[in-house]
Chains A and B, each alone.
Chain A
Amino acid sequence: SQTIHQWPATLVQPVGSPLSLECTVEGTSNPNLYWYRQAAGRGLQLLFYSVGIGQISSEVPQNLSASRPQDRQFILSSKKLLLSDSGFYLCAWSVFLAGSYNEQFFGPGTRLTVL
């Protein structure tokens, strides 16, 4: 069966510090991978998605970047965190099949607080 891991679960970082959040998927090959951010009391905002190694699409201009160095690994990074980067970050995966419904499966999330 497929599983998705995210770490760390919680993170407190000072403004201006770097960030690296990691997401890995097991039990599937060539998944679509996604990074979302959920600000307090708000819905999910798609930040990045990837359809393959090294292929990253950014949905919104921001202080963050994403990379996919391996098929089932997706990393969210920042060189210098801003206060506005605080939030709950969720990684998700789906499998692209002809006629599929693109249901996504979510990791447990990382709570990031920037002080």
Chain B
Amino acid sequence: AQSVTQLDSHVSVSEGTPVLLRCNYSSSYSPSLFWYVQHPNKGLQLLLKYTSAATLVKGINGFEAEFKKSETSFHLTKPSAHMSDAAEYFCVVSDTGGFKTIFGAGTRLFVKA
């Protein structure tokens, strides 16, 4: 069975400081992992995906995530937060080639000026 846990429901950072959004997963199979971002009243946009080719995955808008199998983690980071990064972020696990995906509960990121 698959599951995904986002360890923080809310994260607040100051503009220009690093961002860390934490995600742990469990999967019986070799998982596919994703991060999505959702701005208020909008659909979800794919930030990045883990493809097993590289454990450090670079995405859009300066975000990246590192797959750590030993820790079953896929944390999302960004070196310097921007005001436009304020949004909700979802960590997602899926069986490779499967139909079903499991979404984390989401982490709301606040960015202070």
Interface residues of A (CB under 8 A from B): 32, 42-44, 46, 49, 51, 57, 88, 90, 92, 96-109, 111
Contacts and interface: CB of A to CB of B under 8 A. Distances in A.
List of 9 A-B pairs having minimum Cβ-Cβ separation, nearest first: A106-B43, A101-B32, A43-B105, A106-B44, A44-B103, A102-B94, A108-B43, A43-B106, A43-B103
A99 B45 contact: no
A99 B41 contact: no
A99 B99 contact: no
Interface string B80-95: 0000000000100011
B97 A106 contact: no
A100 B46 CA distance: 15
Interface string B35-73: 010000111111001110000000000000000000000
Interface of B: 32, 34, 36, 41-46, 49-51, 90, 94-101, 103-106
28 contacts: A43-B103, A43-B104, A46-B100, A46-B101, A49-B99, A57-B99, A88-B41, A92-B44, A96-B99, A97-B97, A98-B97, A99-B97, A100-B96, A101-B32, A101-B49, A101-B97, A102-B98, A102-B99, A102-B101, A103-B34, A103-B46, A104-B44, A105-B46, A106-B36, A106-B44, A107-B43, A109-B41, A111-B41
A102 to B, nearest CB: 5
Contact of B96 (A101, A109, A111): A101
Given A51-B99, A96-B97, A103-B49, 7 more contacts: A44-B44, A46-B103, A96-B99, A98-B97, A99-B97, A101-B32, A108-B42
Nearest to B4: A43
Nearest to A107: B43
A97 to B, nearest CB: 7
Residue among A44, A100, A106 facing the most chain B CB atoms (10 A cut-off): A44
Contacts of A106: 36, 43-45
Nearest to B32: A101
